[in-house]
Amino acid sequence: MSGQNCLVTNDWICGEYLRSRSQELIDATVQHVWITVVSVLIGLAVAFPLALLARRSPRLTGPVLGLTTVLYTVPSLAMFSLLLPFFGLSAALVITGLVLYSLTILVRNILAGLEAVPQDAREAARGMGYGSGRLLWEVELPLALPALMAGLRIATVSTVALTTVGSIVGRGGLGNLIEDALPSFFKAQVLTASVLCVLLAVAADLLLLGLQRLLTPWTRIRTPRTREAH
């Protein structure tokens, strides 16, 4: 009876809410994760060739970076309104908006990582007969991975937060629960959905950090300390 009273008294922390709405929370979390993952993967697929284009054609670097920055400054409501005639009230509308928002972070970090590759590494690879394609995939991209992964982590955490905005078209994952709870100020639902968003962002960041450490083992190699002369 006391457990049910927390719903009546509208407490922030309510075990009965978690028990009675568990399936609703699971469905919203799954939708949130799905939209985030798809958006980030598509964003990465679009950002990579844009970064390569900007690097190979210096004249295009400014326009590419400028365009992605402008897209990031467009308010979410305006962005979704502009995309609405093309996608309607669908998940594709939200995903497309999130992809566009992720480009400014991903393009800049990929480009910065590629430009930071030491020139002597490129020259050594060319001296060994590496062509441009092999040079990119076997030398430049591995050395650019730390910067690329850093951008991917930032873009993913940002997308987890921005996905909630999709609630305006009913495709916001946990954001749907927050929006539904605001008119009546259903405290337990607002708090639970918000905490789950934060946990998703932290979990995604830790997962990508672990992947980064797995893919870049050389960054963990420490130079042995020299002994002090006696």
Provide the whole-model pTM: 0.84
Do 144 and 110 contact (CB within 8 A), yes or no? yes
Q: How far is CA 86 from CA 35, 39, 97, in A?
A: 18, 17, 12
Distance CA 140, CA 117 (A): 6
In this predicted model, which residue has the larger pLDDT, 217 or 191?
191
Say whether pLDDT at 70 is over 80.
Answer: yes
Tell me the three state secondary structure of residue 103.
helix
Say whether pLDDT at 25 is over 50.
Answer: yes
Looking at the chain, the whole-number percentage of residues with pLDDT higher than 90 is: 27
Average pLDDT, the chain: 84
Q: Give the pLDDT confidence of 73-119 residue by residue, as tens digits.
A: 888 888 888 888 888 878 889 999 999 999 999 999 999 888 888 88
Write down the pLDDT at residue 106. 93
Residues 6+ apart with CB under 8 A from 30: none
Structure tokens at 191: 């708090």
For residue 174, the Cα-to-chain-centroid distance in whole angstroms is 16
Write down the pLDDT at residue 137. 82
Say whether pLDDT at 218 is over 80.
Answer: no
In this predicted model, which residue has the larger pLDDT, 38 or 20?
38
Give residue for tokens 């918000």. Answer: 194
